[in-house]
A and B are shown apart, each in its own frame.
Chain A
Amino acid sequence: GQQLNQSPQSMFIQEGEDVSMNCTSSSIFNTWLWYKQDPGEGPVLLIALYKAGELTSNGRLTAQFGITRKDSFLNISASIPSDVGIYFCAGRRGDWGNLIFGKGTKLSVKP
């Protein structure tokens, strides 16, 4: 099935560092979502974006809906050990319907 191009695949960072990851598509999306998944758990919604150019924050997390509507970015500032996990981007073409996911970015944080 189709998946979005998400990068990087994995990151090893020091506690306190900032993190950036992104997601691209060859198709236009109307909605971009960012989820975090811990081992053995379902994905947890972090941020939802609905307008091209939109910049939305949730605590130390900031995400942007790309102007071309074909990409999105997630930044985490001042990382802490509990940020460890796999981050997924997901896009939706219409105003409703299924989500298309990236393969995930695995984040490891060294204390």
Chain B
Amino acid sequence: ETGVTQSPTHLIKTRGQQVTLRCSSQSGHNTVSWYQQALGQGPQFIFQYYREEENGRGNFPPRFSGLQFPNYSSELNVNALELDDSALYLCASSGAGTGGDEQYFGPGTRLTVT
């Protein structure tokens, strides 16, 4: 069984640029959730995707957007990057169709905005 994978591992971007982060869900899982984890904090929910549709969203502005593909992999896109966007971005997959099962996390992508 393949776990959740994310790419890239690390990324450095300049303020104002755009970034795309990728996630492959665990085998058999069809729901992907994205979280932002600032240094010293717990993860904060960004949004969740189920069957290629956004299925819930946290308190993040519209410049945070996402996609889910037919193979259940997902992308997180952030436009007009700000310094405060520097964080660890975590992807979690679950299998109940609507996130009802336990969520399993990938290793994360460390984004630094300068």
Contact = CB atoms under 8 A, between A and B. Distances in A.
Given A41-B107, A42-B106, A45-B104, A1 B44 contact: yes
Interface residues of A, number: 25
A98 interface: yes
Contacts of A103: 40-42
Contacts of A97: 48, 56, 98-99
A28 interface: no
Interface string A83-111: 00000101000011111111110000000
Contact of A48 (B58, B92, B102): B102
B90 interface: yes
Contacts, number: 68
A42 B96 contact: no
Contacts of A99: 33, 35, 43, 45, 92, 103
B108 A96 contact: no
Interface residues on B, range: 20 to 34
B100 interface: yes
A43 B105 contact: yes
Contacts of B90: 42-43
B100 A1 contact: no
B4 interface: yes
B2 interface: no
A35 B104 CA distance: 10
Interface in A54-108: 88, 90, 95-104
Which of A1, A102, A103, A104 has the most CB atoms of chain B within a 10 A radius of its CB?
A: A1
7 contacts: A6-B42, A33-B102, A40-B110, A97-B99, A98-B33, A103-B40, A103-B42
Interface of A: 1, 3-4, 6, 33, 35, 40-45, 48, 88, 90, 95-104
Given A98-B99, A99-B45, 16 more contacts: A1-B58, A3-B44, A4-B42, A41-B107, A42-B105, A42-B108, A43-B90, A45-B104, A45-B105, A88-B42, A88-B43, A95-B100, A97-B56, A98-B33, A98-B56, A101-B44
